Amino acid sequence: MERKYKFQFSELEMQSSVTYTLVSRFDIEPNILKAEMDDSGGVLILKLKGDEDDLNKAVEYVQSLGISVMELSKHITRDHDKCIDCGSCVAICPSRAFTIDRDNWEVHLDFQKCVACGSCLTSCPTHAISLTI
């Protein structure tokens, strides 16, 4: 199974050792969707793939290190009747879930790429996007 998570680190050097341990100790396949770092730490948005039991144990382990873990179980929906293909969401989406088809200038959404950050909600002038659980 696959789940998306947000890991928030206060110590930058933890990031690489944690992802290594997920693979070596818990047989988890991590796919980093987004990484932001500065001197005080960082945030990783990642998709973890593995057995459900291993995933639960891996998350418990990460939390035991003092890393904040949030499961991104929400997903976005778009109301096509309200969407005017303005492209605002394309410009703001950090994971490139929204794209523009250059042939017809329609805006497309790839749900698999969405990390449920919520940025596109406020960018949409027609309130066509919503986050649901």
Binding test (CB under 6 A) with ligand SF4, winner from 28, 58, 67, 115: 115
* DSSP result, the chain: -EEEEEEEESSTTHHHHHHHHHHHTT--EEEEEEEEEETTEEEEEEEEES-HHHHHHHHHHHHHTT-EEEE---EEEE-TTT-----HHHHH-TT--EEEETTTTEEEE-GGG-----HHHHH-TT--EEEE-
Span near ligand SF4 by CB under 6 A; candidates 9-17, 49-57, 64-72, 119-127 = 119-127
User: Which residues ranging from 94 to 113 are in contact with ligand SF4 (CB under 6 A)?
Assistant: 94-95, 97-98, 107
Least distance between ligand SF4 and beta carbon 75 (Å): 8
User: Which residues ranging from 66 to 95 are in contact with ligand SF4 (CB under 6 A)?
Assistant: 76, 78, 83-89, 92-95
Least distance between ligand SF4 and beta carbon 45 (Å): 9
Binding test (CB under 6 A) with ligand SF4, winner from 12, 20, 118, 122: 118
Binding test (CB under 6 A) with ligand SF4, winner from 18, 46, 58, 116: 116
Closer residue to ligand SF4 (CB): 17 or 122: 122
* C-alpha span between 9 and 74 (Å, rounded): 22
